[in-house]
Amino acid sequence: MSELKRFRLDGKEVPFERGQTILDAALAAGEYIPHLCHNPELAPHGSCRVCLVAVKGRRVASCTAMAAEGMEVESNSDEIRNIRRAVVQMLFVEGNHICPGCEKSGACQLQAVAYRLGILAPRFAHFFPRREVDASHPDLIIDFNRCILCELCVRASRDLDGKGVFAISGRGLASRLIVDSPSGKLGDSSLAFSDRAATICPVGAILPKHRGYEVPIGQRLYDRARIDQVGDPAADAREG
Amino acid sequence: MNPQPTDQVARVVSDSLVKWGRDPDHLLQHLIAVQHRCSFVPDEAVERLAAELGVTRSRIRAAVDFYAFLHERPRGDFDILFSDNITDRMVGSTCLMQRLCERLGVEPGVTRADGRVAVDFTSCTGMCDQAPAILVNGLAVTSLSPQRIDGIAELVEQGTPLGDWPSELFAVSDNIRRRGLLLSRSETEGAGLKRLLEEGPERALAQVERSGLRGRGGAGFSTAFKWRFCRESASVESYVVCNADEGEPGTFKDRVLLTSFADLVIEGMTICAGVVRARRGFIYLRGEYRYLIGHLESVLERRRAEGLLGGAILGKRGFDFDIQIHLGAGAYVCGEESALIESLEGKRGITRKRPPFPVTCGYKSHPTVVNNVETFLAAARIVELGGDWFRAQGTEQSRGSKVLSVSGDCASPGIYEYPFGTRVSQVLADCGAETPQAVQISGASGTTLSAAEFDRVIGFEDLPTAGSFMVLDQTRDLLDMVVNFAHFFAHESCGFCTPCRVGGALLRDLADKVAAGRACAQDLEEIRSIGGLMKKASHCGLGATAPNHLIDTLEKFPDVYRRRLRRSDYAPAFDLDAALSEARVLTGRTDAAAHLEEEG
């Protein structure tokens, strides 16, 4: 049997298997690295850049970078924390995130990661984009104001549900989530309530209908414990 | 607006299917054909292509929305785009655009109600040596003057079909001012290919290795190493791609190389194919150069007839290689090799995660060599004349010569070929730049040089460059350049990663805030901070180099910023007084007390 390989994360030894990324190995070892566009059910993506770490003076997305024997990985340095905080602050000003009025508040990964990083106020100028809400589906609603373009729904629908209901359209700041249907509306698409894509949204962009605030704010997942302690099971919207 | 009759759309789609087939990889080529014939991509075409190619509608719509030259709404019979590089602005492009809009009675970006014409800006079209320039339905018209603009307005008003416009309007000059190793001769007669067949691929590759040739797109990766990597891969299928997506603002040398040295470029690709055992190749030609397609197709056709391309090249059985031209559609990011491959596969040009690199996993997941136009040209000559011929020029780390695209404030803009190691001051003297204030080298993503740095040398060890060399003289306000570049990068960000997508837009707005005289010292700190973050955290080179111009000018030309700052520690991102204007209207207030005091 081959010896288990190890790398060091902020000085702590983390075991890993061949082909494992830094982030997956860290999470498996119970070491939290903040992340948003990553979900272990899906292939690594590397777009949100929240999970950035430093390896040999270079910054890499830990969700896509492979772990290597003896590697020194820095995740909790001032530099990396500052980068992460700025990246999350960028996501907040890009969309319209009004936490107090959001059904996902307390179970939202963006909010939880922001608290974990000590973000209590906005830093950059808000773009205040005009975005729509699509309530055409019988069981689900999309509020595009809250989409952070993590592509989890895109990937889940394509790779797990075998449907391809979602895609990212446009480019730059005008990039946006679109729905594959003749009208472009969710109600005309093949998305089903039971699809993984329907529940994987880490923020409050895709939400189930016919229920609201079933778990009172203050008693929700990340109200009860920090995201670095409980991870992201709230990726399933049915969790509260 | 003239809605497209269904049968016309059906015909365009079926013509395109005949030409390109039903492989979804050619989706972008179908969309370009539809756009060209209909002036937009109608829903009808989306539905048909989705059914014929077996791809989702959303994939097609996402592509239309991504590429700047594809549109969801009609652009009109004449779609006129003004090149918007700083070098165009320096010679009055904005006034000319205004003049054309006035003549035609259109607003920029809005198709005229009768569906005749739309006028808009586009990123640099690669005509900086004969700026200002426009594209009319994708074809370049250069050296614009008020008279030319009036003539064009008349042709548009009369509805003269583009084919009947005076041909001199579409003349594009090479403007080769200085010839070195590569540009001294354009003939080939297949000499490099013959050498390859006589001596075998290992010897040819050894010559490329010996030459020290590094990629001419700017990154400078060893060409021989790339070829060897691909040659030694276990894959039975591999591809050769010529990156002719010359989108870096201020670069236009590939335009000239493809115009007057196409044989050598194609020969370089064919030699590469012989070395890596590829049977198919692509020239990914930026949409702005679509006027070159006819010329390139005829060179390909002639070479096929001469036995230099196609089946059994030069009579050697099993040496089969052919080349297709794929057009781009207005996306700077596609100059990055992995985004280029995504685009070749008919997708949005999003850069891939690396590793794996294209040499191991490229087009259709097969090993793929992607080289710059100039790299293939150099490789062809190196195999013909030997590695020593090439390495005799240049420096230890940068062998051979570099073709520069010189533009801006100089007497003789155009193409200059120098040995690597040439000083910036030498280029400035040769092109007749009399009072240069700054040189922007290697394009908007490159380095801003102040006069104190003009003794620096062009080469990978000091100033690596893809060839763009823009001169700004002492009359210029460098902030105009900064604002132009900041808008460029925000427009061209692919949107995949947060730092570039959001950071680029924040930088654009901050640059505008400085230009408007509303910025404070804190804003400059924020520019540095966001710029630093983008350099460290972006997914690809676009985001990592996008803030260079801001960071460089803040350091080297601080007065450009300082003289525009408000004398205050902090100024909000929005105008507080203007924000109250709606409230003033609603309450009918016009008195002084309904305004906020302006702080000094």
CATH code, domain carrying A104 = 3.30.70.20
Which of A127, A128, A173, A190 to probe by mutation at the B interface, max B CB count within 10 Å?
A: A173
User: Domain for residue A239, yes or no?
Assistant: no
Summarised one tens digit per residue, pLDDT across range A50-107 is 999 999 999 999 999 999 999 999 999 999 999 999 999 999 999 999 999 899 999 9
Q: Tell me which residue of B457, B488, B485 sits closest to B472, measured CA to CA.
A: B485
Across the interface, whether the CB atoms of A86 and B491 are under 8 A apart is answered: no
Please check whether residue A52 touches B, CB under 8 A: yes
Say if residue A109 is in the same domain as residue A219.
yes
CA of B510: which chain A residue's CA is closest? A125
Say if residue A155 is in the same domain as residue A185.
yes
Contacts 24+ apart (CB under 8 A), A22-29: A22/A53, A22/A55, A22/A60, A22/A62, A22/A63, A22/A65, A22/A66, A22/A67, A22/A71, A22/A73, A23/A51, A23/A62, A23/A63, A24/A63, A25/A67, A26/A62, A26/A75, A27/A231
CATH number for B536: 1.20.1440.230
Give the total number of structural domains in chain B. Answer: 5
Say if residue A35 is in the same domain as residue A114.
no
Say if residue B503 is in the same domain as residue B551.
yes
Say if residue A10 is in the same domain as residue A38.
yes
Residues of B in contact with A158 (CB under 8 A): none
Which segments of A95-160 does DSSP mark as H helices, in order?
Answer: 109-116, 152-155
Give the total number of structural domains in chain A. Answer: 2
Say if residue B157 is in the same domain as residue B190.
no
Q: Which positions ≥6 away from A45 have C-beta within 8 Å?
A: A37, A38, A63, A64, A150, A151, A155
Boundary (domain end) residue, out of A76, A93, A125: A76
Say if residue B192 is in the same domain as residue B310.
yes
User: Domain for residue A236, yes or no?
Assistant: no
User: Domain for residue B569, yes or no?
Assistant: no
Say if residue B190 is in the same domain as residue B285.
yes
The tokens for B23 are 């492989």
CATH number for B432: 3.10.20.600
Say if residue B337 is in the same domain as residue B415.
no
Say if residue B128 is in the same domain as residue B249.
no
Q: Tell me which residue of B17, B378, B455, B452 sits closest to B183, measured CA to CA.
A: B378
User: Domain for residue B555, yes or no?
Assistant: yes
Say if residue A209 is in the same domain as residue A91.
yes
| Number of C-beta neighbours around residue B321 at 10 A | 21
For chain A, the straight-line distance linking the first and the last C-alpha, in angstroms and rounded, comes to: 42
Residues of B in contact with A90 (CB under 8 A): 498-499, 502-503, 506
Q: Which residue positions in chain B have pLDDT lower than 70?
A: 1-5, 568, 597-600
In total, chain A counts a number of residues equal to 240
Say if residue B322 is in the same domain as residue B337.
yes
The tokens for A237 are 């919207």
A47, A170, A179 member nearest B539 (Cβ)? A47
Across the interface, whether the CB atoms of A173 and B502 are under 8 A apart is answered: yes
Residues of B in contact with A173 (CB under 8 A): 490, 493, 495, 501-502, 504-505
Say if residue B451 is in the same domain as residue B541.
no
A44, A49, A125 member nearest B498 (Cβ)? A49
User: Domain for residue B103, yes or no?
Assistant: yes
User: Domain for residue B572, yes or no?
Assistant: no
Residue B155's domain comprises 81-108+118-173
Across the interface, whether the CB atoms of A164 and B538 are under 8 A apart is answered: no
User: Domain for residue B1, yes or no?
Assistant: no
Q: Tell me which residue of B588, B212, B587 sits closest to B386, measured CA to CA.
A: B212
Boundary (domain end) residue, out of B448, B476, B504: B476
Please check whether residue B529 touches A, CB under 8 A: yes
Across the interface, whether the CB atoms of B495 and A168 are under 8 A apart is answered: yes
User: Domain for residue A21, yes or no?
Assistant: yes
Please check whether residue B423 touches A, CB under 8 A: no
Residues of A in contact with B533 (CB under 8 A): 83, 86-87
User: Domain for residue B307, yes or no?
Assistant: yes
Summarised one tens digit per residue, pLDDT across range A186-217 is 999 999 999 999 999 999 999 999 988 889 98
User: Domain for residue A233, yes or no?
Assistant: no
What does the pLDDT read at residue A2? 57
Burial B566-584 (b: 16+ CB within 10 A, else e): beeeebebeeeeeeeeeee
Boundary (domain end) residue, out of A44, A76, A108: A76
Q: Chain A: give the shortest CA distance to residue B259, in Å.
A: 31
User: Domain for residue B295, yes or no?
Assistant: yes
User: Domain for residue A120, yes or no?
Assistant: yes
Residues of B in contact with A44 (CB under 8 A): 353
With cut-offs at 50, 70 and 90, classify the pLDDT of residue A236: very low
Say if residue B289 is in the same domain as residue B379.
yes
3-state secondary structure A146-203: HCCCCCHHHHHHHHHCCCCCEEEECCHHHCEEEECCCCCCHHHCCCCCCCHHHCCCCC
Say if residue A122 is in the same domain as residue A183.
yes
Say if residue B168 is in the same domain as residue B182.
no
Residues of A in contact with B333 (CB under 8 A): 171
Mapping DSSP to helix (H, G, I), strand (E, B) and coil, where does residue B163 land?
helix
Residue A144's domain comprises 84-226
Q: Chain B: give the shortest CA distance to residue A96, in Å.
A: 14
What does the pLDDT read at residue B598? 59
Which of A171, A179, A190, A191 to probe by mutation at the B interface, max B CB count within 10 Å?
A: A171
CATH number for A61: 3.10.20.740
Across the interface, whether the CB atoms of B502 and A93 are under 8 A apart is answered: yes
What does the pLDDT read at residue B4? 61
Mean pLDDT of A29-55: 96
| Number of C-beta neighbours around residue A53 at 10 A | 26
B495, B538, B539 member nearest A171 (Cβ)? B495
Tell me the sheet residues that pair with B117. Answer: B78
User: Domain for residue A235, yes or no?
Assistant: no
Residues of A in contact with B573 (CB under 8 A): 125
User: Domain for residue A56, yes or no?
Assistant: yes
With cut-offs at 50, 70 and 90, classify the pLDDT of residue A220: very high
Residues B221, B215 contacting (CB under 8 angstroms): yes
Residues of B in contact with A164 (CB under 8 A): 56, 58-59
Say if residue A41 is in the same domain as residue A155.
no
Say if residue B131 is in the same domain as residue B142.
yes
Say if residue B51 is in the same domain as residue B167.
no
Boundary (domain end) residue, out of A46, A76, A106: A76
Residues A55, A84 contacting (CB under 8 angstroms): no
CA of B497: which chain A residue's CA is closest? A47
Which of B47, B501, B528 to probe by mutation at the A interface, max A CB count within 10 Å?
A: B501
Q: What pTM does this model have?
A: 0.95
User: Domain for residue B302, yes or no?
Assistant: yes
